[in-house]
C-alpha cells in the first residue's frame, strides 16, 4: 500500500497545495516551523480521522478560514482508493472512502495502517501510564476490530459508571443494582482487552529486541512488562473490593484503564537508568516493531512517518535506520528534516526511490 498523492485546502498553514509521491521514500526539507510536520499530520489524518498533534478539528483550520479539506489517493491491495476528510466549523466532519461516507469513524481505523515516529514519542518513557496504554491500543486497534469494539464499549461503560458514582454522592443515595449493570459491561469487555493485551506483548517482544539489536551494538537485553491489576486477581473481585473506595473518590479505581507498560533495559527502568541515546534507540525500536507487528497481522505494509528524528541520532544509528526502512519488509516512508545534505548523504544509495520536497514559509 502507498499514498499516490495528497491535496490540502486550508489545513493548518496551507492555503492550497498538491503533492505527488514516490511509492518508496519522500522527504520534506525546510527550516523549523515552515509546515513540514503539518504535511505528515495530514497523512496521519487520512488514516486515523484525526490529527496527531491536535484532536480539536477547529484548531487545524487555517487562520481566518472556516473549513479544511484533506484528500488522498492510495494504491491498496492493487486497488485505487480515495479518502476524503472534510471539516467545517460548527458542523460534524465528513470522512469518505471512495465517495461513501462513514457512519462510524472507527470503521476506518486499520484500513490504511500507519506508524508515526516523532520527538513526542519521548513522552512514552517520561509520561504517565495513559500514554503507554494508548500506544498499545493504537497498535492492536489497527488490525483487530474486536479489540477496538471492546475498547470503545469499555470506555462507554467506564464513563457511565463514574457518572453514576458522582450522581450517588451528590444525591446522598446508593443503588447497588444500578452499579452492577455497568460492572457487567466492564467485566465483559475488560476481559477481552486484558487477554489481547497480554498476547500482544508476548508476540511483540521478539520484534522489539530484533530492531533494537539492528539499531545499536549495545547487545543489551530489553523487556516490556505488562502490568495489570487483572493479572493479580479476578476483575469481579477487584470491583467488589474497591466499591467502598470508588464511592468515596467517585470514580472507578480498578480495571484495564489502569494498566501500564514497563520499559526495561537490563532489567532496570529505562526512564531512570537509560542514556538519551539509549532511550532514543529504545523508542525507535519500539515503533519499528509496531510497524512489523501490524504488517504481520494485517498483511498490509503500513505507511511510515519519520518526523525530525535524525537530529538526535549519531551517524551510525542514522545509517542503521535507513538500512532498515529501505528493506523490502518496509513500504512507503515520509521523512522531515531541516538538513537537506544530511538526508542526501543518508539516502545516497536510494536516489531512484527518493523524492525530496523543499518546504518554504
Does 119 map to a domain? no
Single out the residue of 316, 360, 357, 359 nearest to residue 334, CA to CA: 357
pTM for the whole structure: 0.91
Does 153 map to a domain? yes
Q: What angle do CA 353, 357, 361 make, to 5 degrees?
A: 165
Its sign, for the CA torsion 10, 14, 18, 19, is negative
Residue 312 has pLDDT above 80, yes or no: no
Does 234 map to a domain? yes
Point out the domain boundary residue: 253, 283, 299.
299
Instruction: Tell me the average pLDDT across 292-317.
Output: 90
Q: What percentage of the chain carries pLDDT values higher than 90? A: 78
Residue 20 is predicted with a pLDDT of 97
Q: For the sheet containing 303-307, what is the strand order?
A: 114-117, 303-307, 333-337, 25-29, 354-358
Residue pair 72/26 in contact (Cβ under 8 Å)? The answer is no
Q: What CATH number does residue 222 fall under?
A: 1.20.1050.90
Q: Name every residue whose Cβ is closer than 8 Å to that of residue 182 and which is 6 or more positions away in sequence.
A: 157, 158, 160, 161, 164
Point out the domain boundary residue: 250, 270, 299.
299
Q: Is 180 exposed, middle or buried (0-12, 13-18, 19+ CB in 10 A)?
A: exposed
Instruction: Tell me the average pLDDT across 199-224.
Output: 89
Does 215 map to a domain? yes
Same domain for 180 and 284, yes or no, is: yes
From residue 253, alpha-carbon distances to 87, 127, 172, 220, 226 in Å are 37, 20, 20, 36, 18
Secondary structure class of 328 (helix, strand, coil): coil
Residue 102 is predicted with a pLDDT of 95
Same domain for 202 and 285, yes or no, is: yes
pLDDT digits (tens, 9 = 90+) for 135-164: 999 999 999 999 999 999 999 999 999 999
- pLDDT tier, 349 (very low <50, low <70, confident <90, very high otherwise): confident
Residue 148 is predicted with a pLDDT of 96
Same domain for 170 and 307, yes or no, is: no
Does 123 map to a domain? no
Instruction: Tell me the average pLDDT across 318-339.
Output: 91
Same domain for 290 and 314, yes or no, is: no
Q: What is the mean pLDDT of the chain?
A: 93
Does 120 map to a domain? no
- By residue range, what is the domain housing residue 16? 1-113+301-361
Cα separation, 36 vs 47, whole angstroms: 18
What HEC string does 229-265 produce?
Answer: HHHCCCHHHHHHHCHHHHHHHCCCCCCHHHCEEEEEE
Same domain for 85 and 175, yes or no, is: no
Does 121 map to a domain? no
Residue 255 has pLDDT above 90, yes or no: yes
Same domain for 151 and 253, yes or no, is: yes
Q: What CATH number does residue 84 fall under?
A: 3.40.50.300
Same domain for 230 and 323, yes or no, is: no
pLDDT digits (tens, 9 = 90+) for 80-131: 999 999 999 999 999 999 999 999 999 999 999 999 999 899 999 999 999 9
Same domain for 143 and 287, yes or no, is: yes
Same domain for 67 and 159, yes or no, is: no
Cα separation, 188 vs 165, whole angstroms: 20
- pLDDT tier, 273 (very low <50, low <70, confident <90, very high otherwise): confident
Q: Count up the domains in the chain and report the number.
A: 2
Same domain for 142 and 277, yes or no, is: yes
Point out the domain boundary residue: 281, 299, 317.
299
Same domain for 180 and 158, yes or no, is: yes
pLDDT digits (tens, 9 = 90+) for 53-66: 988 999 999 999 99
Does 118 map to a domain? no
**Least-confidence region, from 29-43, 190-204, 211-225:** 211-225
Residue 352 is predicted with a pLDDT of 77
Residue 205 is predicted with a pLDDT of 93
**Least-confidence region, from 186-195, 238-247, 344-353:** 344-353
Same domain for 136 and 252, yes or no, is: yes
Q: What angle do CA 99, 100, 103 make, to 5 degrees?
A: 140
Amino acid at each position: 500500500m502507498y499514498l499516490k498523492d495528497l491535496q490540502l485546502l486550508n489545513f493548518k498553514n496551507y492555503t492550497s497545495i498538491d503533492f505527488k509521491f514516490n511509492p518508496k521514500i519522500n522527504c520534506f526539507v525546510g527550516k523549523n516551523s515552515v509546515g513540514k510536520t503539518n504535511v505528515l499530520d495530514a497523512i496521519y489524518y487520512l488514516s486515523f480521522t484525526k490529527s496527531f498533534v491536535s484532536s480539536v478539528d477547529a484548531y487545524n483550520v487555517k487562520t481566518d478560514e472556516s473549513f479544511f479539506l484533506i484528500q488522498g489517493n492510495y494504491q491498496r491491495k492493487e486497488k485505487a482508493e480515495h479518502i476524503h476528510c472534510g471539516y467545517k466549523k460548527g458542523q460534524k466532519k465528513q470522512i469518505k472512502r471512495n465517495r461513501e461516507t462513514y457512519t462510524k469513524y472507527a470503521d476506518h481505523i486499520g484500513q490504511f495502517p500507519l506508524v508515526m515516529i516523532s520527538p513526542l514519542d519521548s513522552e512514552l518513557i517520561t509520561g504517565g501510564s495513559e500514554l503507554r496504554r494508548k500506544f498499545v491500543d493504537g497498535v492492536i486497534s489497527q488490525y483487530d476490530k474486536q479489540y477496538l469494539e471492546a475498547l470503545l464499549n469499555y470506555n462507554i461503560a467506564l464513563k457511565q459508571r463514574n457518572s453514576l458514582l458522582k450522581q450517588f454522592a451528590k444525591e446522598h443515595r446508593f443503588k447497588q443494582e444500578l452499579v452492577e449493570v455497568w460492572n457487567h459491561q466492564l467485566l465483559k469487555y475488560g476481559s477481552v482487552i486484558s487477554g489481547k493485551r497480554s498476547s500482544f506483548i508476548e508476540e511483540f517482544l521478539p520484534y522489539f529486541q530484533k530492531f533494537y539489536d539492528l539499531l545499536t551494538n549495545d547487545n543489551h537485553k530489553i523487556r516490556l512488562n505488562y502490568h495489570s491489576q487483572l493479572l493479580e486477581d479476578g476483575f469481579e473481585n477487584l470491583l467488589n473490593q474497591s466499591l467502598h473506595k470508588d464511592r468515596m473518590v467517585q470514580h472507578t479505581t480498578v480495571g484495564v484503564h489502569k494498566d501500564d507498560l514497563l520499559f526495561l533495559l537490563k532489567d532496570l527502568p529505562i526512564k531512570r537508568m537509560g542514556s538519551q541515546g539509549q532511550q532514543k534507540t529504545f523508542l525507535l525500536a519500539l515503533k519499528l516493531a509496531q510497524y512489523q507487528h501490524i504488517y504481520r497481522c494485517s498483511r498490509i505494509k503500513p505507511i511510515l512517518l519519520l518526523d525530525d528524528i535524525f537530529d538526535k541520532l549519531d551517524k551510525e544509528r542514522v545509517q542503521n535506520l535507513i538500512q532498515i526502512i529501505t528493506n523490502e519488509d518496509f513500504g512507503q516512508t515520509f521523512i522531515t528534516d531541516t538538513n537537506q545534505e544530511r538526508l542526501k548523504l543518508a539516502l545516497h544509495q536510494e536516489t531512484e526511490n527518493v523524492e525530496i520536497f523543499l518546504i518554504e514559509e
